[in-house]
């Protein structure tokens, strides 16, 4: 090989080595920064694509990130920063926490980037001097505790849950209980079979004092005649409420009324006594199962079982026992009781937990 050819070969090898070395360079600033791959289909300017990509990236981040409970309880707010490299092919590599607020916020932000890696989301790579290059990208993730709205929407109704002055029955709670004792009329049709139980009604007291029914829960399958009696007693409280206030003005607010229906016929006295005893047993049983004593716990479940055996289609008794089962990790038994509550009272309170305990 001539010296000229050897020299040319050495130059070529040297150039390849320099190219390989340049290929590993990670740029911090480039002519075109990497962007989230959400807007490349748009036929628009580069600046518009970048703006669109930034918005899409923020939407992705805040759909994925979970605010750590530890940070919420410690009132930790601010911006965590995650650094990663966008490779020439758009892959994300080398993710790391560069700013951690504490309380698990750094890991929460990092998990979003790791999720991008798992989903193999390919970014539009950065470019410099017309070539695709590796670029380090710093991703800020903001953590801010949002103040909850002072109200919720129930159907079309706005119901305030945070108020400056609470809803009040004129004369206080004792006056309300005295009114209900007089106002509740036991339907005569129930005396034939000694029907008894409890109906809960949630009333909406509007800003102008009007009373409306939001919800009704029948724990004992008492039926329409009893519903009508409960609704009649509740709505007749009109004019006896001082509406809640928020920011100096009257607002809509809800109140829960529990109405007991006990038969009035002489022939129902024994059944009524058994019913009241069963509920006392269940309450005593609930207290015992909360004890740390194995003896008390066993005695508590025995009382709950006796109460439910006496009135198996009483949803309130089933709720008490189901909660006790759940507290003691007896999931199959809790499942059966909560399913029965759902069937009897037609409530959806346990729909979120049933898939977890009914296996």
Cα 334 to Cα 332: distance, rounded to the nearest angstrom: 5
Whether residue 41 is contained in a domain is answered as yes
Q: Are residues 243 and 288 in the same domain?
A: no
316 domain residue, yes or no: yes
Q: Give the CATH number for residue 41.
A: 3.30.1150
**pLDDT at 12 (0 to 100):** 40
CA distances from 357 to 54, 316, 326, 339 (A): 41, 19, 9, 11
Task: Indicate if 243 and 282 belong to the same structural domain.
Answer: no
Task: Name residue 201's beta-bridge partners.
Answer: 216, 257
Instruction: Please list the residues that pair with 32 across neighbouring strands.
Output: 127
Write down the residue that tokens 């990236």 correspond to.
Answer: 57
Q: Determine the pLDDT at residue 6.
A: 39
What one-character-per-residue DSSP string does 285-311 give? HHHHHTSS-HHHHHHHHHHHHHHHHHS
Provide the residue-wise pLDDT of the chain in tens; the chain has 359 residues: 444 343 344 444 444 444 444 467 999 999 999 999 988 888 888 888 889 999 999 999 999 999 999 999 899 999 999 999 999 999 999 999 999 999 999 999 999 999 999 999 999 999 999 999 999 999 999 999 887 888 888 888 899 999 999 999 999 999 999 999 999 999 999 999 999 999 999 999 999 999 999 999 999 999 999 999 999 999 999 999 999 999 999 999 999 999 999 999 999 999 999 999 999 999 999 999 999 999 999 999 999 999 999 999 999 999 999 999 999 999 999 999 999 999 999 998 888 889 889 98
Angle of helix 269-289 versus helix 294-310 axis, rounded to 10: 150
Residue 8 lies in a domain: no
Q: Which residues contact 295 (CB under 8 A, 6 or more apart)?
A: none
Inside any domain, residue 9: no
Angle at 258 between CA 253 and CA 262, to 5 degrees: 155
| Entry pTM | 0.63
Residues 166 and 237 in one domain: yes
Residue 23 confidence (pLDDT): 65
Report d(CA 53, CA 45) in Å as an integer. 12
Domain containing 163 equals 151-263
Residues 239 and 300 in one domain: no
Q: Are residues 93 and 125 both part of a single domain?
A: yes
Distance CA 56, CA 42 (A): 13
Q: What's the angle, vertex CA 342, arms to CA 340 and CA 348, rounded to 5?
A: 155
* Cα–Cα distance, 97 to 106 (Å, whole number): 6
End of a domain among 243, 263, 283? 263
In a domain, 125, yes or no: yes
Are 91 and 43 part of one and the same domain? yes
Question: Within this chain, do residues 254 and 300 fall inside the same structural domain, yes or no?
Answer: no
In angstroms, rounded to a whole number, what is the distance separating the alpha carbons of residues 1 and 68? 69
Q: Is residue 107 domain-shared with residue 204, that is, in the same domain?
A: no
The distance of Cα 252 from the centroid of its chain, to the nearest Å, equals 23
Residue whose structure tokens are 């008490």:
320
Report the distance separating Cα 79 and Cα 18, nearest Å: 39
d(CA 183, CA 84): 69
State residue 155's pLDDT score.
Answer: 84
- 311 and 335 in a single domain? The answer is yes
Among 59, 73, 113, 72, CA closest to 91:
113
User: Are residues 216 and 180 part of one domain?
Assistant: yes
CATH number, domain of 347, equals: 1.25.40
- Examine the domain organization and report whether 219 and 287 are in the same domain: no
Exposure of 198 by Cβ count < 10 A (0-12 exposed, 13-18 middle, 19+ buried)? buried
49 occurs within a structural domain: yes
Within a domain: 13:
no
Q: ∠ CA(218), CA(210), CA(206), 5° rounding?
A: 85
Residue 206 placed within a domain:
yes
**In this structure, are 240 and 298 located in the same domain?**
no
Number of domains the chain is built from: 3
Q: Tokens at residue 171, please?
A: 């004369």
Distance CA 318, CA 10 (A): 87
- Name the domain boundary from 263, 287, 302: 263
Q: Which of 234, 263, 292 corresponds to the end of one domain?
A: 263
Question: Running DSSP on this structure, what letter comes out for residue 147?
Answer: P
- The per-residue pLDDT for 164 is 95
Distance CA 311, CA 73 (A): 43
Neighbours of 67 (CB within 10 A): 18
How far apart CA 232 and CA 202 sit, in angstroms, is 13
């Amino acid at each position: 090989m001539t010296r000229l050819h050897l020299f040319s070969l050495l130059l070529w090898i040297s150039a390849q080595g320099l190219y390989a070395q340049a290929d590993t360079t990670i740029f911090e600033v480039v002519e075109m920064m990497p962007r989230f791959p959400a807007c490349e289909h748009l036929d628009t300017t580069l600046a518009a694509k970048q703006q669109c990509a930034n918005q899409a990236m923020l939407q992705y981040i805040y759909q994925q990130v979970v605010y750590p409970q530890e940070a919420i309880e410690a009132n930790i707010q601010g911006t965590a920063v995650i650094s990663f490299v966008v490779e020439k092919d758009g892959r994300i590599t080398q993710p790391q926490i560069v700013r951690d607020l504490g309380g698990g916020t750094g890991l929460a932000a990092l998990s979003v980037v790791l999720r991008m890696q798992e989903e193999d989301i390919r970014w539009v790579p950065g470019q410099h001097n017309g070539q695709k290059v590796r670029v380090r990208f710093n991703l800020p993730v903001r953590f801010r505790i949002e103040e909850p709205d002072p109200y919720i929407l129930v159907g079309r109704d706005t119901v305030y849950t945070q108020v400056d002055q609470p809803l009040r029955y004129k004369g206080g709670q004792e006056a309300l209980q005295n009114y209900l004792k007089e106002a509740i009329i036991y339907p005569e049709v129930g005396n034939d079979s000694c029907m008894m139980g409890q109906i809960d009604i949630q009333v909406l007291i509007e800003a102008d004092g009007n009373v409306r029914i939001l919800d009704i829960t029948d724990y004992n399958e008492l039926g329409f005649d009893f519903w009508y009696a409960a609704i009649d007693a509740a709505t007749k409280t009109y004019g006896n409420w001082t509406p809640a206030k928020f920011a100096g003005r009257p607002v809509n607010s809800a109140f829960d009324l529990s109405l007991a229906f006990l038969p009035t016929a002489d022939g129902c006295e024994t059944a009524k006594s058994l019913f009241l005893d069963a509920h006392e047993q269940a309450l005593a049983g609930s207290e015992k199962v909360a004890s740390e004593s194995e003896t008390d716990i066993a005695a508590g479940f025995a009382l709950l079982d006796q109460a439910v055996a006496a009135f198996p289609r009483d949803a309130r008794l089933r709720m008490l026992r189901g909660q006790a089962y759940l507290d003691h990790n007896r999931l199959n038994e809790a499942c059966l009781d909560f399913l029965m509550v759902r069937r009897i009272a037609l409530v959806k309170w346990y729909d979120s937990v049933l898939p977890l305990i009914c296996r």
